[in-house]
């Protein structure tokens, strides 16, 4: 887990779409609020309010294969 700094909601959404790239799919989990890359190795969780942190964050996650646990998780704080 690591921090990625701060961005607006619109900036986070643009970066998230670029992170997963063309041909991404949406996850049925959490009402389609997760974008997953075509190869299944990157996912973007759209900005969501985190009660424990009292702020909005987006998550940029990656893994080495197209299944299993996400091994990297970058947090982007939303201003």
Nearest CA to 59 among 4, 14, 10?
A: 4
**Residues of the chain where predicted confidence (pLDDT) is lower than 50:** none
- Burial (CB < 10 A; 0-12, 13-18, 19+), residue 74, is middle
**Could you give the 3-state DSSP secondary structure of residue 47?**
strand
pTM summary value: 0.90
Residue 21 has what pLDDT? 98
Q: What are the structure tokens assigned to 18, written together?
A: 């670029």
What is the per-residue pLDDT for 30? Answer: 67
pLDDT at residue 55 in the model: 96
Minimal CA–CA distance to 62: which of 29, 30, 21, 22? 21
pLDDT in the model for residue 27: 87
């Amino acid at each position: 887990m690591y921090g990625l700094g701060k961005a607006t909601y619109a900036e986070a959404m643009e970066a998230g779409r670029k992170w997963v790239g063309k041909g991404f799919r949406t996850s049925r989990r959490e009402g389609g609020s997760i974008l997953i890359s075509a190869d299944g190795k990157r996912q973007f969780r759209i900005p969501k309010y985190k009660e424990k942190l009292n702020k909005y964050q987006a998550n940029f996650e990656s893994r080495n294969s197209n299944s299993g646990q996400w091994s990297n998780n970058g947090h982007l704080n939303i201003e």
